[in-house]
Amino acid sequence: MINPNKITNFKRTQEQIQEFLLFCIIVAGKNSDVQAKKLDAFLFGSECSPFDWIDWIDGKGILEDKLKGVKMGQYNRIAPCFREIAKRFNNGNIYNLTLNDLMSVKGIGPKTARFFLVHSQEGCDHAILDTHVLTWLRQFFGWCPKITPVGQAYLDWEQIFLDKARELWPNKSIAEIDLEIWKQRSKWDNKKESSVKI
């Protein structure tokens, strides 16, 4: 099962990295602990890799039923996304996926793609512009988008974040910085609304 408090791992097995990509897809804007449990329940009983499991249950015509059974939500986005990644990335090349590879899948946006890469590929230099990072940026600049920007705006704010992060923590990786900001903001959010969102 995915542990949202220990998310960075550059040496995942094939099954672990597949599960992590699925987690990245389902956690956006949701409670990470709840989504990790839902994913664990969705994969429960499989005796194969997560992508093989998706292919198998999809072949039986029950992928959507399984997602609904664990109350995953966002079925029109998640089911086709799971189906596509299981077909396209089940040949071992998941370790070398690029930002473009991931974002070519309908249902995976810039934040999800970067979340997966930063916490699974060592030395990855991208910014995950989630609510925690955006709030952190507002502390320095007084203003930034409240929701994840898209297109060129994402790239512009990503660079602003990377520059500031490198200035403040020159010896830390982006994965370490992202996790530190997430933990700090999550503690504040938990006090405020008892919810940890990514």
Torsion of CA 174, 177, 182, 185, to 10 degrees: -140
**197 and 135 Cβ atoms separated by less than 8 Å:** no
DSSP for residue 122: T
User: Mean pLDDT over residues 35-59, rounded?
Assistant: 95
Q: What is the pLDDT of residue 196?
A: 43
Enumerate domains of the chain plus CATH numbers: 14-118 (1.10.340), 131-193 (no CATH)
Q: What angle do CA 157, 118, 188 make, to 5 degrees?
A: 70
Q: Quick one: tokens of 29?
A: 């804007």
**Average pLDDT value over all residues in the chain:** 90
Cα–chain center distance at 64: 21
pLDDT digits (tens, 9 = 90+) for 158-196: 999 999 999 999 999 999 999 888 888 766 554 544 344
Percent of the chain scoring above 70 in pLDDT:
93
pLDDT digits (tens, 9 = 90+) for 86-134: 999 987 778 889 999 999 999 999 999 999 999 999 999 999 999 889 9
- CA distance readout (Å), 78 to 27, 54, 105, 112: 11, 12, 11, 12
83 φ/ψ sector (left φ>0, alpha ψ -120 to 50, else beta): alpha
Closest CA to 102 of 197, 32, 7, 17: 17
User: Mean pLDDT over residues 26-50, rounded?
Assistant: 93
Q: What is the pLDDT of residue 104?
A: 96
How many Å apart are CA 81 and CA 97, to the nearest integer? 16
Strand partners, 31: 197
Its pTM stands at 0.89
User: Mean pLDDT over residues 147-154, rounded?
Assistant: 93
DSSP 40-53: HHHHTT--S-HHHH
Output b/e per residue, 112-145; b: 16+ Cβ within 10 A.
bbbbbbbbbbeebebbbbbbbbbbbbeeeeeebe
